[in-house]
Amino acid sequence: MRIAMAQLNQTVGALSNNTAKIKDHILRAADHGSALVIFSELTLSGYPPKDLLLYNSFVERERELLETQILPLTLGGPAVIIGTSHRELGVLYNAALYLKDGKIKSLHRKSLLPNYDVFDEERYFRPAPVRAVEMIGDLPTAITVCEDIWNDSDYNEKQLYHIDPLKDLFAGGAQLLINISASPYHLGKQKLREELLTFLARKYNTGVIYVNQVGGNDELIFDGSSLVYNNQGELLYRARSFGEDLFYIESEELYKSAGLITPPATEDSATVLRALTLGLRDYITKTGFSKVVLGLSGGIDSALVATLAVEALGAENVLGLIMPSPYSSDHSIKDALELADNLGMEKRLIKINEPFTAFLQLLNEDGQPRLDLAEENLQARIRGNLVMHISNREGYLALATGNKSELAVGYCTLYGDMAGGLAVIADLPKMMVYELSNHINRVKGKEVIPRNTIDKAPSAELRPDQKDVDSLPPYPLLDPILQLYIEENLSISEICNRGYEKEVVKKIARMVDKAEFKRRQAAPGLRITTRAFGSGRRMPIARSYEY
């Protein structure tokens, strides 16, 4: 039996278009002689649909399209397994539906609902009350949704849930495991998936078909990378990463040795680059934009974001604003110009001296600069205004260029450099910004990002001779401490036990906590690590701190 797997990039909420795409893939799979087509989790709505699910009309429309558009194709066509919401007696489930011969043959509701990190599934769904094996051809099959396969007590030291759906299903005679997922990317995730699926194939002596969503949806980037294993845990197929795919397997192959040894997926700067490019491109296009504007400071952050934007959208769709203030160094302007030229993107030079002076006339009695923090922010905000003005007038989406390290410690200006519709590298620690920039130059075989931009000491250039290290610990020290505090939720003393100095750790923790109000108003940032700011980290603002 030929099975087709469709790894699609859906737009959240675009029910009609998503349906059309699903139909198209069913027809293509049918043309290739498939008896079954498998789609990912919540393919109809795109994942995550969030509070759209609170609209009854949305859930009803989803079902209507399924019944009127998709179901008929299975009459005389291939069977379909598809992820969709399912309402029953007023209760909503996240379900995989098995469609065959024009009917909904069976329903496989998700048992384990992730409600940690960026996930809110308990907000919308109830867990499956029962689980049952379904015959697919002559194969008794466990049809599961995403999280359902992740609670194996032999694999995980710690279980998040009381039940393991696979235990029931394989005790019930399952011989094939199908899992439809919407599993977002973070650095290291694919390794975890491949380890788990190999393990499950061997443990249950089962073929494994894993179909994941692909595409960027707001902060989340879904990498696809769907997988097929035979019952010996040999990897038979790894679908495209960061792109759509429609691929096929003969069910017989799932139960014979392939003699294959496939090296595990590699994850490195190249993967991060592809993830960010996809996340950026999808955010722009799915919000209805085609071109972006950003400030180019001559520094490495904006250089990297510009490079990613050119990669994602083409140089003709990227506009850089070079906006020197009285404190900008000559080399910064030169570096920014050089970058724009290297990338072949449009650039405009707009000196902010005049509005800056006009503000100082209003704000300082003598009209002379005082060189305080407020005036540093003022310069950043004048630039923010210019970026937003060109965004508003000319229809560019504005990109914010801040990295995770500065967002963490609040070394950034709200409504200034934080302004924009998308914060492209908001989840990249500064050291990773360097790594990725060097990687890009290496891959391109030339210094797209100017050498001086990479080599010079980081500076906001908002007062004479300013350097980041005047205010912050050096990044090679800052980044690992931030990682322990933010991604691993360690306390100050636990971090000190890893060999860091108490005063430094305390200072950093305090900066992180005090900057919560800025992050609350930050643009959505593409997620790359195991814990990004935004919906993955929900902190109170009006709070007290005890160090």
| Binding residues for a second copy restricted to 215-254, rule: CB under 8 A | 216-218
One residue of 368, 489, 497, 502 binding a second copy per CB under 8 A: 489
- Quick one: 6 or 523, whose CB is closer to a second copy? 523
Residues 422-481 that bind a second copy (CB under 8 A): none
Residue 56 near a second copy by CB under 8 A: yes
Residue 480 tokens read as 């690992």
The question of whether 157 is a catalytic residue gets the answer no
Residue 196 CB, nearest distance to a second copy (Å)?
Answer: 21
Residue 541 CB, nearest distance to a second copy (Å)?
Answer: 5
Q: Which of 21, 41, 311, 338 is catalytic?
A: 41
User: What gap in Å lies between CA 523 and CA 529, rounded to an integer?
Assistant: 17
Residue 414 CB, nearest distance to a second copy (Å)?
Answer: 7
Contact pattern from residue 337 through residue 366 relative to a second copy, giving x for each residue in contact according to CB under 8 A and a dash for the rest = -------------xxx-xx-xxx-xxx---
The letter for the amino acid at 456 is: K
To the nearest 10 degrees (0 to 180), the angle between helices 475-482 and 502-514 is: 70
Q: What are the residues whose beta carbons fall under 8 Å from the beta carbon of 435, sequence distance 6 or more?
A: 269
User: What gap in Å lies between CA 210 and CA 302, rounded to an integer?
Assistant: 37
Q: What are the residues whose beta carbons fall under 8 Å from the beta carbon of 122, sequence distance 6 or more?
A: 113, 115
Contact 112, 151 (CB under 8 A): yes
Phi, psi of 431 (to 5 degrees): -65, -30
Residue 75 near a second copy by CB under 8 A: no
- Quick one: 177 or 423, whose CB is closer to a second copy? 423
- Quick one: 215 or 450, whose CB is closer to a second copy? 215
Residue 400 CB, nearest distance to a second copy (Å)?
Answer: 10
Q: What are the residues whose beta carbons fall under 8 Å from the beta carbon of 547, sequence distance 6 or more?
A: 492, 506, 509, 510
Residue 264 CB, nearest distance to a second copy (Å)?
Answer: 30
Residues 125-164 that bind a second copy (CB under 8 A): 158
Residue 413 CB, nearest distance to a second copy (Å)?
Answer: 9
| Total residues in contact with a second copy, by rule CB under 8 A | 85
- Quick one: 201 or 409, whose CB is closer to a second copy? 409
Residue 493 near a second copy by CB under 8 A: yes
Residue 263 tokens read as 């090296």
One residue of 309, 382, 436, 440 binding a second copy per CB under 8 A: 382
Contact 408, 512 (CB under 8 A): yes
Please report which helix (H) or strand (E) contains residue 114, including its range: none
If one counts every other C-beta atom within 10 angstroms of the C-beta of residue 347, the result is 17
Residues 77-96 that bind a second copy (CB under 8 A): 90
Residue 494 near a second copy by CB under 8 A: yes
The question of whether 146 is a catalytic residue gets the answer yes
Q: HSE (CB half, 13 Å, CA atoms) of 95?
A: 27
- Quick one: 79 or 481, whose CB is closer to a second copy? 481
One residue of 26, 378, 436, 511 binding a second copy per CB under 8 A: 378
User: What gap in Å lies between CA 20 and CA 62, rounded to an integer?
Assistant: 12
- Quick one: 236 or 512, whose CB is closer to a second copy? 512
One residue of 385, 452, 466, 530 binding a second copy per CB under 8 A: 385
The question of whether 406 is a catalytic residue gets the answer no
Q: Which of 62, 100, 121, 146 is catalytic?
A: 146
Question: For 119-158, where are the alpha helices, taking DSSP H only?
Answer: 121-124
Q: Which of 21, 100, 110, 404 is catalytic?
A: 110
- Quick one: 341 or 494, whose CB is closer to a second copy? 494
Concatenating the DSSP letter of every residue in 349-373 gives: E---HHHHHHHHHHHSTT------H
To the nearest 10 degrees (0 to 180), the angle between helices 430-444 and 300-313 is: 50
User: What gap in Å lies between CA 485 and CA 398, rounded to an integer?
Assistant: 30
Q: Which residues are catalytic?
A: 41, 110, 146
